[in-house]
Amino acid sequence: MPGVLAGKAVVVTGAGRGLGEAYARLAAAEGASVVVNDVDTTVAASVAASIGALADDSDIATWAGAGRLIDTCRQAYGRIDGLVNNAGLFRLADPREQDPDEFRRVVEVNLLGTAHCGLHAIRAMLAQGSGSVVNVTSGAQAGTAALAAYGASKGGVASLTWCWAADLAGTGVRVNAVSPNAHTRMAEAFERHLGDRARGQNVGKSAASNAPAVIHLLSDAAAGVSGQVVRIDGDELSLVTPPRQAASVRMSQWTVAAVADAFAGDLGRHR
């Protein structure tokens, strides 16, 4: 039987190892023609060779690099049907010790890289009349110690997903995101940095276990699915909703004292 991605051309960024590699491998197994992107040329070439894919080492943090990547897919396969925005940097730091250059680089790769690749791909997909973008966000967007740069960038990716889905409703181009969990090098770094506070980070959760949700979102079986953030956590699959008001209090005119009363009363019960 043909795979669910048979005949489709798919780009996976940051696919030289870990989660990205798992996405690329399953996409190829499900029949897709895959471009394996990673700034580490050696690992990109190794993964690509093992699955019969094309390797690419473009730096997606730049607009030009992202454009070259999407053009590579279109030139090799004649189109682009799917994009998995997986490439990302992970840096741990206390705010008192945060290196501003590291903070900037995390945002450049995780958020701007996702935006750059997405914008190039969306324009090509709109010309085709179809396509699927799957961004990769993280539970860190909700607030995790030592992960301000990473969490902020991933929160931006989630917002980007919801906004693009609204922009593209009815066009045939879909945008979703996944929030994966796996015991990768990132989890190991988190454990080393936080010690006992982070022991057992995602133990037993393989990168491969996250791939089926990504492949489904790329496939025609998910043709009616857009604007969703899918959380994968071992044996649990769930949806993450956009931020909503948790509670509200009304007052004809707000004063500092009235705000203090609200926090001490109804709002305080929802904090």
Q: Give yes or no for a contact between 184 and 19, defined as CB atoms under 8 angstroms apart.
A: yes
pLDDT in tens, 132-156: 999 999 988 887 777 899 999 999 9
Same domain, 188 and 70: yes
Same domain, 154 and 44: yes
Same domain, 43 and 147: yes
- Sign (positive/negative) of CA torsion 189, 48, 113, 208? negative
Same domain, 232 and 130: yes
Same domain, 138 and 205: yes
As a three-state string, the secondary structure of 92-157 is CCCCCCCCHHHHHHHHHHHHHHHHHHHHHHHHHHHHHCCEEEEEECCHHHHCCCCCHHHHHHHHHH
Same domain, 259 and 220: no
CA gap 65, 12 in Å, rounded: 14
Same domain, 130 and 250: no
Same domain, 183 and 88: yes
Active site residues: 150
Q: Is residue 60 part of a domain?
A: yes
Residue ranges making up the domain that contains 266: 244-271
Per-residue pLDDT of the chain (271 residues; tens, 9 = 90+): 889 999 999 999 999 999 999 999 999 999 999 999 999 999 999 999 999 999 999 999 999 999 999 999 999 999 999 999 999 998 888 889 999 999 999 999 999 999 999 999 999 999 999 999 999 999 888 877 778 999 999 999 999 999 999 999 999 999 999 999 986 666 655 565 555 555 555 556 799 999 999 999 999 999 999 999 999 998 999 999 998 888 899 999 999 999 999 999 989 988 8
Domain count within the chain: 2
Same domain, 45 and 176: yes
Same domain, 148 and 250: no
